[in-house]
Chains A and B, each alone.
Chain A
Amino acid sequence: MLYLYDGSLNVPEILKEWYEQEATSNYGAYIPFVGTVRSEDGIEGLSFDIYEPILNSWFAAWQERAKAKGAVIKMAHSKGDVMLHESSYIAAVFSPKRRVALEFIDEFVEDFKASAPIWKYDLKNGKRVYALDRSTAISGSGLLGVRK
């Protein structure tokens, strides 16, 4: 269950929708993580590009891991511009007992940061500047740069 939106996320609506989707699924725990754009370094906001084919397969692999533990993962992310104090990311895990969801949300969000094909740009002085210094090379990067 992966949801992509143009622009910022309506956090109360999404959290409520997910809560209601699983209200009678007999999960004992619902643990959401919400990512919000903070004011720093004079940015006006952030902007995102997403490559959906690989994002979908990455997410499907995580959903399989969750399913094996009786849990389910939901994720929402913004495309395009998200301004200060708006939110661009929500991840949530539902599980029968809290421990599985607490561990999954930690592992899932960390791998999301390192692997999900999403690119972040700072919006500064009306320009869109790639946030290279805060980005992580996907595992195995650099193959094409190796000289023979």
Chain B
Amino acid sequence: MKKFVLSQELSKEETLIRVEFLGPIQKEPLELEIKNLNELATILQNDKELSEWLENSAVAVNDALVSSLDCELKDGDKVSLLPPVCGG
């Protein structure tokens, strides 16, 4: 019972976002408490290994490409980074 109450309280406050790094970006997915893409940019810019990838990667929220960081995120959303592509 106590556990149930705790999880209810958490769900009111937490916005847990999964961040996935696709293709050649060798990085495990992250679970972050963030509310929008601007917060994600700030966090990822502090990771030196990612600096080049941030410059050349596209961003998708729930598998739809976005063209602006003005994007609010809700609990359970998935953000993906897509580095330069070359099919064929």
Contacts and interface: CB of A to CB of B under 8 A. Distances in A.
A46 B40 CA distance: 33
Contact of A115 (B56, B57, B66, B85): B85
B56 A146 contact: no
A112 B68 CA distance: 23
A113 B88 contact: yes
Contacts of A77: 87-88
B87 A48 contact: yes
Main SS class of interface, A? mixed
Contacts of A49: 22-24
B1 interface: no
Main SS class of interface, B? mixed
Interface residues of B, number: 34
B86 A134 contact: yes
B63 A57 contact: yes
Interface in B19-69: 22-24, 37-38, 40-42, 44-45, 51, 54-60, 63-69
B59 to A, nearest CB: 5
Contacts of A120: 86-88
B41 A144 contact: yes
A113 B87 contact: yes
Nearest to A37: B88
Given A51-B23, A119-B24, A143 B66 contact: yes
Contact of B85 (A89, A109, A135): A135
Interface of B: 22-24, 37-38, 40-42, 44-45, 51, 54-60, 63-69, 80-88
13 contacts: A49-B22, A49-B23, A53-B63, A113-B87, A117-B85, A118-B87, A119-B24, A120-B86, A138-B58, A144-B44, A145-B45, A145-B51, A146-B41
